[in-house]
Structure 1
Amino acid sequence: MQQVVAYIRQYQAKFPVAALREQLVKQGVPAAVVDQAIQIVKSPGTVPGQPLPGTGPAAQPATQPPRPAPGAPPPGQGPRTLLPGSVPPGPATQPPRPAPGAPPPGQGPRTLLPGSVPPGPATQPPRPAPGAPPPSAGGPPPPAGSVVAPSLLSQMEGPVSKPPAGRTYILIVDDDPLIRDMLVAKLESAGYRVTCAEDAAQSVIQAEGMRLSLIISDIEMPGFGTGVDALKKLRASNQVRKNLPVIFVTGMPPQEARKIVPKTDPFVRLLHKPVDWRLLQQYIRELTGMDKSLM
């Protein structure tokens, strides 16, 4: 709500409030949230998060009834009468797990044929040595002394952030309409659903009101702040999942971009303009598990 109020206050001098409302609703912000934000802007004494004048006190959160103790009767029932010789009920216990190689409960021991080997616990395959190619990859490792070019931030595969269930979108954030339209055309032609924002403020609002699988954002943008500022707000927000992936696409010099982009966030990647479509496809696959050709 605070982000919607800040956005309306920032642009109300340039655009009619009705146009701002239509733009926010079009970008996926609920109409009720937009109307409440407009009412807050028109009434300076209204505090975000407090009920609007005339709407009455805020509803108190519902309280959960206390859980009965183990073995106690359900609420509304008296104590149980135990028959002579019966044992009062206690907390449920989990059955013990069978030992590795033991037959399932209810089955007798297995009969082994002559010359067969009894089953044992499963073993994990050995891990390859550092620098060795994976078992499925062919070819020897690079010769000693050779230099392998690193990516602009990190080309090592990290954890994958699976998109939420249902209809999801990739959010493109860039103040340059040519770059924005180019990214939208390329991703939509590959089969992705795409939505757009022109600055960091819009990106925060849409991320909090929509189901996103990924954000592809510029860094330097006019107005609210940079793309890195928006990332910090999203990581601190309770309305956005903490592992929402972000790929920064920037025209900044590489050394300056590396200084401000978080290096410890495993769900962040960095690209430079002009866009390397092969590397962008690789980063989308690493971060989300989605793999659609951009070539």
Structure 2
Amino acid sequence: MTTNGTTLVIGATGTTGSRTAAQLTAAGHRVKAASRRATPVADAEPVTFDWYDPATHAAALAGADRVYLIPPLGDSNPAATMLPFLRQARTAGVHRAVLLSSSAIPEGGPAVGTVHQALPDLVEQWAVLRPSWFMQNFTGTHAHAHGIRDEGIIWTATENGRVGFVDAEDIAAVAVRALTDEQAPNTDLVLTGPEALGHDDIATIITEVTGQSVVHRRLSYEQMRDRLTAEVPAEFAAMLAGMDRAIAEGAEDRVTDTVQRLTGRPPSTFRALVERETRCSS
């Protein structure tokens, strides 16, 4: 691993950004932690950054030679904002970029898929992380977690479809390697946990570990879309509901060895994550 350079972590207060910043600083790397309120994260330098305020971009980029990119949340066309920023970053001296995408969005696909497609022409060294759905969706601030805590219900349109849910700590560990290894991956990396689980399985594990009764309730695509529209813009809600439908059709029923291959250790299981979260909250 290289120890030189400074990494700008965009979205440094988020699920993977905070963990990436913490793991980088713990390993002795210099980090600028970018968020709208310049919130301190680990031992990183806090900087103000807003995707929709270009006046914040130059100061955030100053001194950075690599960047971890979290797309603007809920934006169905992030390329409009991200591609001009990446051109500015290249001019400012950034030579490596690691983009957080999704296993459900291929290169050239909708939303961040367009940024994925453009990235190799914008920076010399790059990687696109395409994690499966986060395990933390069931324990953090995601709608699933709220549904579990408030109702004991996970609402989805995934039917019996299975997903290789992945721990955000493992995503961050791969991000650190992609940002700091001597050779950048220069490819996209599909990240999963060690097993594919249905939402019935998720509910069962949470029930067994925590003692709280949790069930999975099935919705149609239309019902899920309408439910999500109360929380996010309609176009984004339709895309998210479509991802549930794709899960139902088997699109996410896979596991990969990427976490093991890049970090040298096996990925966390969902049961282990729930046990860890339960211990921390008790």
Higher relative contact order (CA 8 A, sep 6+): 2
TM-score bracket for this pair, using the shorter chain length: 0.3 to 0.5
Give TM-score scaled by structure 1 length. 0.33
For the pair shown, the structure with the greater C-alpha radius of gyration is 1
From the two aligned structures, give the one with the greater strand fraction.
2
| TM-score, L = length of structure 2 | 0.35
